[in-house]
Structure 1
């Protein structure tokens, strides 16, 4: 594995771990500006 591949692998593992941490996800949801996903149409598809 090259150095770059190792860095990417470590980054992806960190992202995955963060997404599994519900408190972190809730913190992100509160701190990020409201996403544009609230457009009509996308919610209708869910």
Structure 2
């Protein structure tokens, strides 16, 4: 989750132990974001 960018800037990445949310959680958040904003959203690049 962004570690490559920190490495490229020669800065310490302090969230190395933090795990990304489960896919189910991300899908739930995607649905909430779409319903709230009325904009189609996408997970990932």
TM-score, normalised to structure 2, is 0.33
Structure with higher RCO (Cα < 8 A, 6+ apart)? 2
Instruction: Give the structure with higher Rg (CA).
Output: 1
TM-score, normalised to structure 1, is 0.33
